[in-house]
C-alpha cells in the first residue's frame, strides 16, 4: 500500500502561498501534517492569521504554528512595505494557532513515526529552517527532500539583485544553503512566468470543491498591492506532484549577505556533485492545466 507523502509547509501567506496550500490539500498523494509561518509577505501576526484562515476555508485539520522573525526583523523588507496593502487575504477568521512554535513543532514532526516518507517545503524566508538547522544540523536525513521557493539567478524582485524570500533574511538562507542539507530550489526565474489567466479562474468557479472555491475567490487579488500576479509558491507543490514538467540542474547555491546593492543575491555554480538542484525550465501551460484539474477535480 502506497502512503501519501507527509508534508510540512513553512510559509508566509500571501496569495500564492494560499494557492500552494490549496493545491496540496487537493492532492490525494500529499498529506499536510502541519503548517508553520514566518515573516515575509507581512508581519508574523498577519501571515499566521492568514494561514489559519486558509486551513479553515479548506476544511482541513492541519495545525498552524507561528514561527520566527528574520534575524534582522526589518518590517521595511516585507512585501507590504514594497508593494503596498496590509497582507490580509480577507478570509473568515480562524481559531488561534497552536501553542508550540514552528521549530518545536517541526522537530516533533521529524521524530514522529510515519508510514511513508516526509517532505518539508519552504515558501517564504528561511528563518525557521535556519533555526531548525541550529537545533538539529542533520534534520535533512529524516526527509525525502527539502524544496524551496526562492532566489533569482537573473533579475530579482525585492531589489534588482535579490528575490524577496532570500532578501528578507539573507543570513538564514546562506546558512541553509551552506549546510549539508540537500535541497531543490524553484527560483523566481521560473515562478514569475506562472501567471493564471481568466480561463484558470473560470474553470475553478465551475467546481464545488473547497480548494477550487478558495483559489477562485482569491484570484481577483492577483497583482493588487502585495499580492503577486504570478502564483510563485504553487510551483513547489507542483514539483512534488509533476516533477516531469520541470528541468533541473545540479550544483551549489550561495547567498551574498554583505550589506549593499547585491545583498540577498543568489549565486549558482553548476556542479554534478553539488548538494542542490535548481529548476531551470518548466512547461507552464501543462502546469497550469494540471493545477486546474487537481484543484477542481472531475468538474474541471
Peptide bond into 14 cis (omega under 30): yes
Q: 3-state class of 212 per DSSP?
A: helix
Q: Which three cell numbers stand for residue 78?
A: 516585507
- DSSP assigned state of 68: -
Q: 3-state class of 209 per DSSP?
A: coil
Tell me the β-bridge partners of 230. Answer: 195
| Neighbouring residues of 222: CB distance < 8 A, sequence distance ≥ 6 | 15, 195, 196, 228, 229, 231
CB 133 within 8 A of CB 143: no
CB 89 within 8 A of CB 15: yes
| 60 noted as active-site residue | no
- How many Å apart are CA 102 and CA 99, to the nearest integer? 9
Q: Among the options 60, 68, 227, 232, which is catalytic?
A: 232
Half-sphere exposure of 257 (CA within 13 A, CB side): 13
Q: 3-state class of 166 per DSSP?
A: helix
Active site residues: 232
Amino acid at each position: 500500500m502506497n502512503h501519501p507523502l507527509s508534508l510540512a509547509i513553512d510559509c508566509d501567506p500571501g496569495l500564492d502561498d494560499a494557492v500552494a496550500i490549496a493545491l496540496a490539500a487537493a492532492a490525494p498523494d500529499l498529506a499536510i501534517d502541519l503548517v508553520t509561518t514566518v515573516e515575509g509577505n507581512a508581519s508574523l501576526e498577519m501571515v499566521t492569521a492568514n494561514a489559519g484562515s486558509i486551513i479553515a476555508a479548506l476544511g482541513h485539520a492541519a495545525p498552524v504554528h507561528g514561527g520566527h522573525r528574520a534575524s534582522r526583523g526589518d518590517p521595511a523588507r516585507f512585501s507590504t512595505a514594497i508593494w503596498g496593502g496590509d497582507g490580509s487575504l480577507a478570509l473568515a477568521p480562524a481559531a488561534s494557532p497552536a501553542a508550540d512554535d514552528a521549530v518545536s513543532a517541526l522537530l516533533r514532526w521529524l521524530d514522529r513515526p510515519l508510514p511513508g516518507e516526509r517532505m518539508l517545503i519552504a515558501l517564504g524566508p528561511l528563518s525557521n529552517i535556519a533555526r531548525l538547522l541550529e537545533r538539529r544540523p542533520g534534520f535533512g536525513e529524516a526527509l525525502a527532500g527539502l524544496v524551496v521557493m526562492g532566489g533569482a539567478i537573473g533579475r530579482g524582485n525585492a531589489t534588482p539583485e535579490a528575490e524577496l524570500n532570500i532578501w528578507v533574511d539573507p543570513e538564514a538562507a546562506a546558512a541553509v544553503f551552506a549546510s549539508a542539507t540537500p535541497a531543490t530550489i524553484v527560483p523566481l526565474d521560473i515562478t514569475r512566468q506562472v501567471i493564471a489567466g481568466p480561463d484558470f479562474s473560470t474553470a475553478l468557479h465551475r467546481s464545488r470543491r473547497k480548494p477550487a472555491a478558495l483559489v477562485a475567490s482569491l484570484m481577483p487579488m492577483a497583482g493588487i498591492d502585495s499580492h503577486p500576479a504570478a502564483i510563485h509558491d504553487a510551483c513547489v507543490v507542483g514539483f512534488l506532484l509533476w516533477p516531469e514538467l520541470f528541468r533541473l540542474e545540479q550544483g551549489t547555491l550561495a547567498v551574498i549577505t554583505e550589506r549593499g546593492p547585491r545583498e540577498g543575491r543568489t549565486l549558482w555554480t553548476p556542479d554534478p556533485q553539488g548538494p542542490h538542484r535548481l529548476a531551470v525550465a518548466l512547461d507552464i501551460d501543462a502546469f497550469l492545466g494540471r493545477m486546474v484539474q487537481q484543484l477542481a477535480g472531475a468538474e474541471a
